[in-house]
Structure 1
């Protein structure tokens, strides 16, 4: 381990040992991803009382629950299935992430350790500056959040995992068994992905079909909703979310503008792109 990484490890352990435990064990927020593997290992190294918890979103990649259980992580069931949530609230987008508050972002313990790193994104770099923050959850519940690897880089994470002999989720390894630190684990089809989830839908097209079916139920049962008025059906809604940068572009593509004969049929376009019959 390099001297620079050792200093980061020492700081992380010191931070973890400074967390008060008078009100019970500390939650280690475990997602199954590489960063949560690191904070779980650091918690073990620090010798602190903790509860490693995985919040099942019902839409994480296959094998995630089994991997978490293999690590001795406690699995919490969601209060509502993702697709049932879509039926009630509509399809989530990068500007409307209601699914997170129901499936991931809720309080369990008064104090929690999370594997957030500033180098993951510009947004996180701007948002997080200190390794300890206070977070407010729905119903005005509050928790102290500790970020022991806030300043770690991908290289730090990869080196630590190699040094400690940590076995990560199978999706981090290629066919030759090589570990890829650049890979990310997360909800299937998450709109916050750089490609808005399209690559996930290519890999799991049946998931897309269920999303469309659930979105159609929302539209059918909420005719006054903006989604129903603007798009009419789930195929149009999903096409707009995945392939259009603006409402104007969506309208132009689906009407053909001045050339109606070249108008795109969203259902056919989605079926051709994802190579699946999306009839619901």
Structure 2
């Protein structure tokens, strides 16, 4: 059986329907001939120099990424522009690029399902469903097999995700029992209120900002209030488990016809981390 780019695209769009993408998003085939033959496909979070290098080294004819290459409006892709250079390079190398972004976030089995599985959760439903009773939507709610202290849960998250310079940060009582958890792959502080309303014990996401996180935790000091503890991870790490999920989808849809590979290049932009000299700055500076 000859597999073409359009066949791989069809498998991806059956799992991650383009109509689930946000109106501002840019998903789909960025470059490449739909009729081109595909024997190898590389899956990654970011379409950048490192992953294009990896695709070329693998001999891939198609690169599938989570993040779009051309999210903002463009008027050209000159080769002296970083993104234009990538487009020119992929075209010359015969490598197509397909992006599945917010459609993969909201799909019935998507980015947050992969994140939940990586940290050992059993998913019970979407955090923010598209409609009442829908199985699609942003984020997921799940449960652990047994309750565990928050400090151990933070360690669980760190063990389940690839290591980054950003690391894994927790905000909350270290001894608080955690059983129910909300997760949202990628930047998720816009769903803090949703996670709180869901009544979960902890919320795992990326790119949490100082003020929203601090104000959220402070609300827990009010008598009778209940807010989830927070776990902040690197954006790239929170979405990387999706790559294997997507690779499995294509391999299952096109068995024994294409070879799939998940990128191992860490494309998180942060490359260094220096821990402070104070072990617990929240309690004392001396």
TM-score, normalized by length of structure 1?
0.30
Name the structure, 1 or 2, with higher relative contact order (CA <8 Å, separation 6+). 2
TM-score, normalized by length of structure 2?
0.30
The answer to which structure has the higher helix fraction is: 1
Larger radius of gyration: 1
